[in-house]
Amino acid sequence: MMSLPPRLRAVGTALPAHPITQKQVLEILAQAKGTNLPPRLADILGNTGILKRHIAMPPEYYFSERSWPDRARVYQETASQMFQAATSIALEKAGLTAADIGQIVFVSTTGTMTPSLPSRMIATMGFAPDTRCIPLFGYGCAGGVIGLGVAADLYRASPEKPVLLVSLELCSIAYDHSRMDKKDMVALALFADGCAAVVIGEGEGPEISAFASHIWPDTLDMMGWEIGDTGFDLVLSRNIPQFVNSHFAPSCDAFLAGQGLDKADMAESACHPGGGRVVDALADYIGDDLNETRAILRDHGNMSSPTVLFVLERILAKGPVTKPMLMTALGPGFVGAMGVLRP
């Protein structure tokens, strides 16, 4: 008997407790530097397309001395709360309980725990003891799209129970802001924290169809992080918007052609925004203003992997999917991730 295709049953999202506006961030940066920011740098940091974000801890925490164990403690406590909040919302929307879930795919690159966070949630949230937990680490901003594709494949292989995808990042605690060099200031002005949970299975909702990724050689310096003494040191190229047009666009065109699709015939795309200039490049390529992508960047900043799922939640809230929908994200590798949802 042929099983039914995986469908996106519900999306739930959660944010940490501390909102911060971009105006506050620029004021904090100037205070930490002890002088006004250079006009060009202030313009760059102020033109990210972000108005406000949420972060795990109060602003003063980020400029105090922090050890790796302290960061791990904050990650464990805050991530556990956000995991439960987003998952509870998604399960309720889908009309399910934790015990109904057969597998949990967990995406996070800004922290790690052993046992993994979903393993720790088994008893806490009432998942069945035989629930399979699959942590995915290292995909960064591309993790939301890649994780959705992995979760759909796992459901196709074992369709007896729905699959839960949880994408969670605490970017704010990952980077060391004590040095306040240009890369640290970019990280502080761009990245944020958030969690998204998606229930995948049989029922109502768009079909989670084809997914693909493409890694370009000699691009390790485009995006990622290196291990520092007290945190992660950001690796982020200025050339990502140009890369969208020169490299990502042809790969995405080939992916869509393989699915028998054309950009002009599709619904609004759900894209990981990255930053304002990246959204502009994606909008030019796709031929759409990407209003919901811009709205999530404006209201929540770049939360890394869950950001695209926040965008997807906003698009789905407007009504049922009636046309194929493209999902995109760019991440460390340098990797381009692409997916298609169908009515």
pLDDT digits (tens, 9 = 90+) for 230-242: 667 777 777 888 9
Instruction: Mark residue 72 as left, alpha or beta (left: phi above 0; alpha: psi -120 to 50; beta: remaining).
Output: alpha
329 pLDDT more than 50: yes
What the chain holds in terms of domains, given with CATH numbers, is 7-201 (3.40.47.10), 207-342 (3.40.47.10)
Residue 172, CA distances (Å) to 57, 142, 234, 301 in order: 8, 18, 12, 11
Which of the given ranges, 142-146, 214-218, 244-248, 275-279, has the highest pLDDT on average?
142-146
Q: What six digits make up the tokens of 181?
A: 């060099």
Report residue 7 as tokens. Answer: 């469908």
Question: Residue 171's pLDDT band (boundaries 50, 70, 90)?
Answer: very high
Cβ atoms of 50 and 26 within 8 Å: the answer is no
Distance CA 226, CA 235 (A): 7
User: Is the pLDDT score of 178 beyond 70?
Assistant: no
**Coil, strand or helix: which one is 141?**
helix
**Reported pTM:** 0.94
Percent helix, percent strand, percent coil in the chain, to nearest 5? 45, 25, 35
Which H or E run contains 168? strand 163-170
How many degrees, rounded to 5, is the angle at CA 191 between CA 292 and CA 305?
Answer: 65
Nearest one of 322, 323, 242 to 284, comparing CA atoms: 242
Residue 17 or 30, more confident? 17
Q: Are 99 and 121 in contact (CB under 8 A)?
A: no
Instruction: Report, as residue numbers or ranges, the catalytic residues.
Output: 141
Average pLDDT over the chain reads 91
